[in-house]
Chains A and B, each alone.
Chain A
Amino acid sequence: MLGLGVDRLQADINRLLTSLFHQGVLDEQFLQLQQLQDETSPTFVYDVINIYFDESEKLLRSLRLLLMDREFSDYKKIGLHLNQLVGSSSSIGARRVRNVCVAFRSASELNNRPGCLRGLEVVEHEYHYLKNMMHELFQLEQQRLLAAGVRYPM
């Protein structure tokens, strides 16, 4: 039934987005981001989000390494990493990641190691949740594009 599900797929996408908004996973910045996408850069959102995931993955790995170290004390570096994460998260509108990152950051500012560890877990949890959702979204998007691309000769 190629091509016939465009509307349904669009509705699915909207529903998914709505639920993400409801949960506070995303905020209006994501909409702004979507608006930036046009014919000249059809995969803009996808690109940005991918970069975001790449960067964040690196940062999270680095954070985990830092925190796992027993004689660890470089809270400043954690703060820098988290700043990056907060910045990019707010840029793409990943609101919940951003919020938990802020909490994590305040724990790191207080050199609260257990807090940091918990923070890291929560951030990772949120991050993976976001990643899954985004994955789903992009898949839907792709399907929609495919469906929209289908032309039946009249």
Chain B
Amino acid sequence: MFNPFTTHHSSDMNWALNNPNPEGKEPRTTTQSSDFYHLSAKDSPQKSRKIDFWRSGLMGFAKMQHSVAVKMNNGNNNDQVGNKKGSTFIQEHRALLPKGLILWTIIVGFISRGIYQWMDDTSKVRREEVLVSMCDQRARMLQDQFSVSVNHVHALAILVSTFHYHKNPSAIDQGTFADYTARTAFERPLLSGVAYAEKVVNAEREMFESQHNWVIKTMDTGEPSPVRDEYAPVIFSQDSVSYLESLDMMSGEEDRENILRARETGKAVLTSPFRLLASHHLGVVLTFPVYKASLPRNPTVQERIAATAGYLGGAFDVESLVENLLGQLAGNQAIVVHVYDITNASDPLVMYGNQDEEGDTSLYHESKLDFGDPFRKHKMICRYLQKAPIPLNVLTTVPLFFAIGFLVGYILYGAAVHIVKVEDDFHEMQELKVRAEAADVAKSQFLATVSHEIRTPMNGILGMLAMLLDTELSSTQRDYAQTAQVCGKALIALINEVLDRAKIEAGKLELESVPFDIRSILDDVLSLFSEESRNKGIELAVFVSDKVPEIVKGDSGRFRQIIINLVGNSVKFTEKGHIFVKVHLAEQSKDGAESKPALNGGVASEDITAASKPSSYNTLSGYEAADGRNSWDSFKHLVSSEELLTSSEFDASSNVRLMVSIEDTGIGIPLTAQGRVFMPFMQADSSTSRTYGGTGIGLSISKCLVELMRGQISFVSRPRVGSTFWFTAVFERCDKFSLKKPTVENLPSSFRGMRAIVVDAKPVRAAVTRYHMKRLGISVDVMTSLRTAVSTASGRNGSPLPSGTTKLDMILVEKDSWISTEDIDAEIRQMNSRTNGNVHRKTPKLALFATNITNSEFDRAKSAGFADTVIMKPLRASMIGACLQQVLELRKARQQHPEGSSPATLKSLLTGKKILVVDDNMVNRRVAAGALKKFGAEVVCAESGQVALGLLQIPHSFDACFMDIQMPQMDGFEATRQIRMMEKEAKEKTKLEWHLPILAMTADVIHATYEECLKSGMDGYVSKPFEEENLYKSVAKSFKANPISDSSCSQS
């Protein structure tokens, strides 16, 4: 695979080797960067932005630039490969999605069409069934009605035969017949009328005509009938058809056939339909034969013709019959009914129905009709009046189905599209994430590298400035150089902070664990700020609870860093009032001081204090503080509980949780900004940094450090009142004597057993003073009024001190108390003079505490008798000691360490130690030996691991070994392993424990990590080239961690 690294390096090389003049920094940078831009533009897909970023930020740091950028490119390439693998089925087929949607829609369309067909078919079938049943019903009813009518006609025929022929003389005449038929007409609703025609043969015509007094007429003309074989003149008729009387029924062709058929069959016979004379309705004529005598059981046709007496006829109004019938039935509007006479099958005759009224021709049903005339055939055809409407459910169901199907398809499509989009986004995000991570790595690397790159030239600058300051300079020049040096130091400090931050973020910061004295550290911090606080007139005080162990084990440097940071902030933002640092055990604050719940954020506490705002507060300086916890009310619990429980009892646990609070009465933090106080580079507001300077990184580092110390940091702040920061930190308890002497600040011991009176109206401040005095071994009585103190001291009223003794060595007066007490100066003078006169009593010395003092005040103090001294605040035990020494003219023999600083301590660690230096590089060996020799060690060198092994055969007299890691043949790790093996064997043999501290020497800290060193049995490492502090740290750690070497060193 193409490795951009390769090309980069070789290009770098090429440059380095081609350029004859390597001093030219400028061309170097530009050549490289352009090279880099070119490459990255080719490689990386997101070039332009990155290039801009780098270009703006890193023009000067081409060297690290490309390694970082190359890494990013690599990462991206890998990632893109990963992306491709991760794509899903849907994504791969994203082009098919719209086609899929269309296909789905078509399928749904087909299905809905099928459903439509099916529903339509079923509805058609049902419609047909309905039609069939309706038609059949109508046909049956028509038939029934018809047969009922026929039966009546039959009955009428029998009536006529009975009463006209069997009675003699006849019982019926026209009047009777008409009357009877009229009255029985309800039984024949369909017959417009009935008439009876008698059979008359031509021979009987004369007689018949004369008998009835009229001539037989033809039907169509009404003329007297021509001569025929036979006639059938109507003799009786219902009134409705009375016009038929005397008409010869046989004169009409059709009627004649009817009559003939009727008498042959003996049954009712129908004509084909025709328009009735009266109503113009379509109708048929029903003819029924009347026989003279009763016929034999199965009469022949001849017998029937012979027996025929006449014919009963009636006109059937088929149209109204059917109309009536249909009217009685439901649904008659829906269908069209036609009745046909189909005797002649080729030419059906319409009996009923409007021929124009077609109805729905697609569907019809035929029902046969049997009107009892075997010769005539009828049928009924039913149709729907309207075309079958598309049913509503079909209308709704099918579109609904289609719509739902389409929607489902669309939803699926939408989902798929969404999935594709989300996955695209996801991949994009992933890519961005990788990029962001790469950028983060780059940032860290950038920070680390840049810090380092800056530090190196800065060291040069500082070194040169130091050298410059050693030369002869004019005062202006010196001033300039000194300023430059201060600025450089500040810059280095800032870079270190940034580096710290980066280290913490990368989780690379490790806390060390060395014993230290909290009190002296606090004193140191205080002394750092004493100048500034004094100039501002702020009281700066520290109080450490007695319960806090004298020596704890932890990272003193980091602890100090936190406190310096917090106190520094407080000093920066406080113009008046006080800054009060208080240290106590976290448990103490729980049971004692936390009578009032901790208030977070200023709002709640503001309410409380606003209600009863006292004119002065029981705080250190009398100014109001943000957190009530440090005021006297709760503070006295702390102090009193200490007095009750003296520090004799020792907690069983090896850890001690300290709580440190830093209270100030400064400008406070705006409520809106309180949430982001611990965020890096965030100051309360941007104007803050303009007014007060600073980067705002300190608090975030402090927070990280506190968290590393397994503690918490928090604060209470009220704008314009002040802030109280507090944090907890866990330290190991430590034996008092485990601390190496030099780091303990030696407090003079000459004050032990002395007594003093402290005059201070402010209890908190008095407690602080008492704390410092106590450290010096002076027991203190606090008095609130100077007057009582003076009178007590002068013994005028003879009252003994509260503690019972009368011995008094000094009176320490707080300036405020002195200023506020009027006319006391004279008394003081008097007291001084009186006690001076008293030979047996020692004069109590007077001293004044002041934060700041004006000249006039100073003169007054002098005149009043405070000539002895004015002790300037902030108070520190050592300073009080020094001042009091002056006052009491005690001479203390300062014991040791005129030089004081780390070389001396390193010297003390290393003096007389026999140390083996193992390095294959002669120069390195020589330098290491030189450095160690300088600190008083006796150095033996070995140029390889094998030689070292030979020298270290047990028993040997070496106290420590510095081992190079990179050596040919046997590297440092291997050599160490073998040494440890030898020690183990020796232990088994002689029961004597050997453990030689072995410290790795390496030029490359990253390469050989601490873990690797430890794994192979080393005790620590020193980075090459040697730096004193670094060396001291490692040496101190490994010597202390190892009591055997201690004992061996004490023997040697």
Contact = CB atoms under 8 A, between A and B. Distances in A.
Given A55-B922, A87-B966, A103-B13, A41 B464 contact: no
Contacts of A38: 934
Nearest to B16: A103
Nearest to A93: B1025
B1003 interface: yes
Given A17-B467, A84-B921, A112-B13, A27 B460 contact: yes
A33 B924 CA distance: 11
Given A14-B467, A80-B968, A110-B9, A122 B921 contact: no
Interface string A95-139: 010001001101100101001001101100010000000000000
Given A90-B1024, A103-B16, A119-B13, A33 B927 contact: yes
A36 interface: yes
B1008 to A, nearest CB: 13
Contact of B456 (A27, A91, A100): A27
Contact of A96 (B22, B472, B921): B22
Interface stretch (A45-53, A67-75, A146-154): A45-53
Given A38-B934, A93-B1025, A107-B9, A118 B927 contact: no
B459 interface: yes
B1006 interface: no
A112 B10 contact: yes
Interface residues of B, number: 37
Contacts of A48: 923, 926-927, 930
A88 B924 CA distance: 6
Contact of B13 (A28, A91, A107): A107
A23 B22 CA distance: 9
Nearest to A121: B17
A2 to B, nearest CB: 21
Contacts of A104: 13
Interface in B1-48: 6, 9-10, 12-14, 16-18, 22-23
Contacts of A145: none
Contacts of B472: 7
A39 B588 CA distance: 55
A43 to B, nearest CB: 11
Nearest to B1027: A32
Contacts of B930: 33, 36-37, 41, 44, 48
B163 interface: no
B920 A84 contact: yes
A88 B1025 contact: no
B661 to A, nearest CB: 41
A79 to B, nearest CB: 11
Interface in B607-655: none
Nearest to B19: A122
Contacts of B348: none
Contact of B23 (A23, A32, A52, A100): A23
Contacts of A126: 22
A100 B921 contact: no
Contact of B923 (A17, A36, A88): A88
Contact of B471 (A14, A23, A29, A31): A14
A129 to B, nearest CB: 10
B463 A31 contact: yes
Interface centre among A17, A23, A33, A36 (most CB of B within 10 A): A36
A143 interface: no
A88 B922 contact: yes
B1026 interface: yes
B13 A106 contact: yes
Interface string B227-249: 00000000000000000000000
Nearest to A54: B922
B1003 A100 contact: no
Given A90-B1025, A96-B22, A18 B921 contact: no
Interface in B923-940: 923-924, 926-927, 930-931, 933-934
A93 B1027 CA distance: 13
Contacts of B467: 14, 17-18
A15 to B, nearest CB: 10
A66 to B, nearest CB: 15
Contact of A100 (B10, B22, B463, B923): B22
A28 B456 CA distance: 8
A18 B927 contact: no
Contacts of B14: 115, 118
Given A51-B922, A106-B9, A110-B10, A118 B460 contact: no
Interface string B389-433: 000000000000000000000000000000000000000000000
B941 to A, nearest CB: 12
Nearest to A108: B13
A121 B19 CA distance: 11
Given A44-B930, A87-B1003, A91-B927, A11 B471 contact: yes
Interface centre among B9, B931, B968, B1025 (most CB of A within 10 A): B1025
A36 to B, nearest CB: 4
In the A-B complex, list the 10 residue pairs whose CB atoms are closest, starting with the nearest: A118-B17, A88-B923, A36-B930, A52-B923, A115-B13, A28-B459, A29-B1025, A91-B924, A87-B921, A107-B13
27 contacts: A21-B460, A27-B460, A36-B934, A38-B934, A41-B930, A41-B933, A44-B930, A47-B926, A48-B930, A51-B923, A80-B968, A87-B1003, A88-B921, A88-B922, A88-B923, A90-B1003, A92-B927, A93-B1025, A103-B13, A103-B16, A107-B9, A107-B10, A110-B6, A110-B9, A110-B10, A119-B16, A121-B17
Given A28-B463, A40-B933, A107-B10, 10 more contacts: A18-B464, A41-B933, A48-B926, A84-B921, A87-B921, A103-B17, A107-B9, A112-B10, A115-B14, A126-B22
Interface of A: 7, 11, 14, 17-18, 21, 23-24, 27-29, 31-33, 35-38, 40-41, 44, 47-48, 51-52, 55, 80, 83-84, 86-88, 90-93, 96, 100, 103-104, 106-107, 110, 112, 115, 118-119, 121-122, 126
Interface of B: 6, 9-10, 12-14, 16-18, 22-23, 456, 459-460, 463-464, 467, 471-472, 920-924, 926-927, 930-931, 933-934, 966, 968, 1003, 1024-1027
